Structures are given as structure tokens and as C-alpha cells.
């Protein structure tokens, strides 16, 4: 192949990669995933004050950070989450659901459906549904 063809292919690949990055970063499902991921990370490192800020306003008002800490402690799969696989994200108007398979630090696995609502231009977590949890022990 000529040098010109190789350069053209490389440029095309770079353009596609940049497009995919921007699509995932700025698409509605990318925004939902970003909020859920940031909250899961904050929980996993023990920064529950930060994790609390990702809750919907009505949930923040109903559950202060102390109560939220207690709630998280009741769900070890969430508290000790280590790996997350996003199965799908469904968005309808101002609500969204992220279906996430989670593995904790002890290897326990389960699903967490994270429900979100749009407040202004930001997605906020409104509820969790723990499904098919295979939690054999607690810390």
C-alpha cells in the first residue's frame, strides 16, 4: 500500500474514534451512565457525602447523609461494589433506568436497577432495585 492510503486509513480511524467518544460522552445514555458510575465509585471509596449528592432532591430531603450511610450498609453489593457492567440504559422523557450487573470485592454478584429522574439538566438517582443478588456473606 502506498503511504497516502495508509495515512488516509489512519485519519479515518482517528475520526471514527473521536466520534464514538463524543457520542458516548454527550449522548443521553452516556450522561445517565456517568451519574450512576460516579455515584458507585463514590460509594465504593466510602465518600457517601459525595454519593448522597447524586440523589434526587426529594430523596436527599427524605434521607440525610447519616440515614443514607445506614441504607448503603444494608446492601453490601452496593457498598462494596468493585466491578460494574452496564447491561442497558432505558430513557423515557425525564426518567431513566440503568440495568447494572455488579460484583463486589468478595466476588458476590447481582443486579442493581438504578432509577433516575431529570432535575433541570442533570440526572439524579431516585431509587435502586436489587435483583438476583448472590450475596453469601457480609463484611
What would the pLDDT profile of 13-55 be if each residue is shown by its tens digit? 888 777 666 655 555 688 999 999 999 999 999 999 999 999 9
CA distances from 17 to 22, 26, 42, 86, 107 (A): 9, 14, 29, 21, 33
The 10s digit of each residue's pLDDT in 54-106 is 999 999 999 999 999 999 999 999 999 999 999 999 999 999 999 999 999 99
Query: Which SS3 state, helix, strand or coil, does residue 82 take?
Result: strand
How large is the C-alpha radius of gyration of the chain? 19
In this structure, are residues 117 and 97 in contact, taking their beta carbons and an 8 Å threshold? no
Q: Which domains does the chain possess? A: 3-134 (3.10.450.50)
Sheet with strand 122-134: strands edge to edge: 81-92, 95-104, 109-119, 122-134
Residues 6+ apart with CB under 8 A from 44: 79, 80, 81, 82
Rounded-to-integer distance, Cα 105 and Cα 139, Å: 10
The predicted model scores a pTM of 0.76
Amino acid at each position: 500500500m502506498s503511504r497516502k492510503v495508509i495515512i488516509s486509513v489512519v485519519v479515518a480511524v482517528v475520526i471514527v474514534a473521536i466520534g464514538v467518544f463524543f457520542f458516548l460522552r454527550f449522548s443521553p445514555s452516556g450522561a445517565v451512565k456517568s451519574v450512576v458510575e460516579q455515584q458507585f465509585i463514590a460509594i465504593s471509596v466510602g465518600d457517601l457525602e459525595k454519593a448522597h449528592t447524586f440523589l434526587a432532591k426529594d430523596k436527599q430531603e427524605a434521607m440525610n447523609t447519616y440515614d443514607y450511610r445506614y441504607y448503603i450498609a444494608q446492601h453490601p453489593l452496593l457498598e462494596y461494589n468493585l466491578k460494574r457492567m452496564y447491561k442497558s440504559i432505558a430513557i423515557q422523557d425525564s426518567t431513566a433506568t440503568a440495568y447494572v450487573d455488579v460484583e463486589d470485592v468478595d466476588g458476590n454478584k447481582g443486579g442493581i436497577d438504578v432509577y433516575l429522574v431529570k432535575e433541570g439538566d442533570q440526572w439524579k438517582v431516585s431509587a435502586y432495585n436489587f435483583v438476583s443478588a448472590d450475596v453469601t456473606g457480609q463484611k
